[in-house]
Amino acid sequence: MCWIQSLIELPPYPRGFHLITHKVLAAVPQIVQIRVGILHIHIMHTSASLTVNENADPDVRVDLEAAFSAIAPENFPYCHTCEGPDDMPAHVKASLLGNAVSFPVCDGKLLNGTWQGIYLCEHRDHADGRRIVATLNGQME
């Protein structure tokens, strides 16, 4: 049984949903040696989130951003406003989506669905880069 952990430092992204599957896999190249295991990914921020969703049609990303902006609009009468009008809606969106995703690993590959990708959900307009911890656990070949 092995444990591997990597810190992924992402550059700043604009508000929206961004596929990062390739960046996550690049951070844990040892995944190809795992016969059976799990990859857990955790974002270390409260105004961004991670999710798994459709990875082929870019319209999905646009629609997700529009839907979440409607659910948590900036013009809602929030109490926490000291960090700008996009901050509290970002916390709401991050709470709804969550700060972590996990995938089973088999024979060196993620067992994700055909159309599933890992998304960084950036909920701020001008966020700095984001940090993600990827933890891989499993039996090596």
Position 139 scores a pLDDT of 97
**Distance of alpha carbon 100 from alpha carbon 31, whole angstroms:** 18
Q: Mean pLDDT for each consecutive 10-residue tract of the chain (141 residues)?
A: 97 98 98 98 98 97 98 97 96 98 98 96 97 97 80
Place of tokens 């001008």: 126
Strands 2-10 and 116-122: unpaired
Q: What fold, for 12-104+117-140?
A: Jelly Rolls (2.60.120)
Position 141 scores a pLDDT of 80
Position 123 scores a pLDDT of 98
**Distance of alpha carbon 67 from alpha carbon 50, whole angstroms:** 16
